[in-house]
Amino acid sequence: MEQELENTTTRTINQDEILQAALRLFAQKGYFNTSLTDIKDAVGLKTTSGIYQFFKTKQAIAQTLQENILDSLSISIDDIRRRNRKASEQLREIVDLLFKLTDEAPEIIVFLLFVKTNDFLPEQPPLLNSAPFNKIKRIIQNGIKEGEIRTLDPLLAYSYFFGIIQHTISMVLTDALPKSAENYQAQAWLAAWGCIAKK
Amino acid sequence: MEQELENTTTRTINQDEILQAALRLFAQKGYFNTSLTDIKDAVGLKTTSGIYQFFKTKQAIAQTLQENILDSLSISIDDIRRRNRKASEQLREIVDLLFKLTDEAPEIIVFLLFVKTNDFLPEQPPLLNSAPFNKIKRIIQNGIKEGEIRTLDPLLAYSYFFGIIQHTISMVLTDALPKSAENYQAQAWLAAWGCIAKK
DNA sequence: GTCTATACGCCGATAGAC
DNA sequence: GTCTATCGGCGTATAGAC
């Protein structure tokens, strides 16, 4: 039983609290099932008005959320590419990151990979054309050029590889697979890499 | 340029027209971006009232749609299991069916695989526990028992196999892959089966 | 079976006092 | 930066005439 800590004094909210609450709610219930009233409750405001100090519209909250997540992922991938030279190593570390996030910050993975952001952010490019995923596609292209990955349409290689990774993560998040993501990480990597690796 | 055929006389609608229009709209714009007004327009009614002759709520439309699709898929899978004995053959035909539907009735595949029905049909079991997908899981279990599929967690085998299939179909539907589904069917099957086949 | 008319709730959003 | 108060609008749904 969780004890509600009633604050008699006025709460002071910042932009990040709103984003965190919205991320959790969007991931749990979906964007359209989440009202500003829900977000206001989650951050401990009395009315929705306070939210408008930070965001003009509900859409803007979702957009900021997506930008932040994509930016952060993009930076992580840059870092991974800097520290590793081979495509296999780079992809391996990206998989590590995604599985680690699945356990430690599932809302981020749900919002990134499984919420259909296009339904409420129609202006945004599809995930596959976002900066971080363009970088992943480039890693695969390099892997093919260097002979690490067998010769096939880079987009198909991407599709096979991340199909396995994403589907496995999805099954962890829906509890179709009973254990935490880290328990499936090594096997999923082997299957996904084996699917596109040369020889 | 499409010529609007204005009907001066009153249109008479049946349940199936509503379902077809709703399927198309839900697949295109999503459930929450589709209003009864949209559906009414699509079937050529003047007001939404006529819809209520067939469905009590908007939810009920979506639920009927899902039931119909799952039933139809379940029957197809029964048929496939009857006509083939080996897991490889059965899975191969299921893949054939899904790719064929992707080209010929993409709305069905979108609604079945890519619309998050749980957001508006929270009472329904997750796709993985629906009748047709239970049958697919059973095919995989048999494949493992018969030594066609390598020994691994049946759920992981499912995840790898359908991860590849679904992701490839998804990329066709979003035009990330430029050609029609049938062009990728053979390769995707090889990758997916190779991922779980013994030896 | 389709229409007119209407109810009504919820939600996103704004104005302005404190 | 948070509150009170309020608004307009849309979307679902209903009652009842034809």
Is there a contact between A167 and B168 if contact means CB atoms under 8 Å apart? no
Q: Cβ of A53 < 7 Å from strand C?
A: no
Pick from B116, B160, B187: which is nearest to A164 by CB? B160
Pick from B30, B167, B187: which is nearest to A162 by CB? B167
Residue A171 has pLDDT above 50, yes or no: yes
Do residues A95 and A192 lie in contact, with contact meaning Cβ atoms separated by under 8 Å? yes
Q: How many whole angstroms separate alpha carbon B35 and alpha carbon B181?
A: 30
CATH 1.10.357.10 domain extents, chain B: 59-196
Pick from A126, A163, A176: which is nearest to B155 by CB? A176
Architecture per CATH, domain B59-196, reads as Orthogonal Bundle (1.10)
- What contacts 24+ positions apart, CB below 8 Å, involve A94-97? A94/A136, A94/A139, A95/A165, A95/A185, A95/A188, A95/A189, A95/A192, A96/A185
When the pLDDT of each residue in chain A is averaged and rounded to a whole number, the result is 95
Q: Which two tokens stand for residue B143?
A: 């494949």
Q: Cβ of A11 < 7 Å from strand D?
A: yes
Q: Cβ of B131 < 7 Å from strand C?
A: no
Determine phi and psi for B197, rounding to 5 degrees.
Answer: -70, 150
CATH 1.10.10.60 domain extents, chain A: 15-53
Pick from A114, A128, A163: which is nearest to B166 by CB? A163
Q: How far is B93 from chain A (nearest CA, A)?
A: 19
CATH superfamily placement of domain B15-53: Homeodomain-like (1.10.10.60)
Is there a contact between B177 and A156 if contact means CB atoms under 8 Å apart? yes
List the one residue out of B80, B45, B113 whose CA is nearest residue B105: B113
**Which residues of A are less than 8 Å from B122 in CB distance?**
none
Q: Can you spell out the DSSP letters for A37-97?
A: HHHHHHHT-SSGGGGGGT-SSHHHHHHHHHHHHHHHHHHHHHHHHHH--SHHHHHHHHHHH
Averages of pLDDT over runs of 10 residues in chain B (199 residues) are: 47 93 98 98 96 98 98 98 98 98 98 98 97 98 98 98 98 98 98 96
Residue type, A130: S
Residue of chain A minimizing CA distance to B193: A195
Q: Which helix (H) or strand (E) holds B183?
A: helix B182-196
- Structure confidence at residue A60 (pLDDT): 98
Q: How far is B111 from chain A (nearest CA, A)?
A: 13
What number does CATH give the domain A58-196?
1.10.357.10
* Confidence bin at A199 (pLDDT 50/70/90): confident
* Confidence bin at A9 (pLDDT 50/70/90): low
In angstroms and rounded to an integer, the radius of gyration of the C-alpha atoms of chain A is: 19
- CA A83 to each of CA A78, A146, A149: distance values in angstroms, whole numbers, following the listed order: 9, 18, 20
CATH 1.10.357.10 domain extents, chain A: 58-196
- Structure confidence at residue A124 (pLDDT): 97
> What are B's interface residues with A at a Cβ cutoff of 8 A?
29-30, 32-33, 114, 116, 119, 126, 128, 152, 155-156, 159-160, 162-168, 171, 174, 176-177, 184, 187-188, 191-192, 194-195
**Which residues of B are less than 8 Å from A177 in CB distance?**
155-156, 159
Residue A4 has pLDDT above 90, yes or no: no
Residue of chain A minimizing CA distance to B196: A191
Give residues with Cβ within 8 angstroms of B10, minimum separation 6: none
Torsion sign over Cα A160, A162, A165, A171? negative
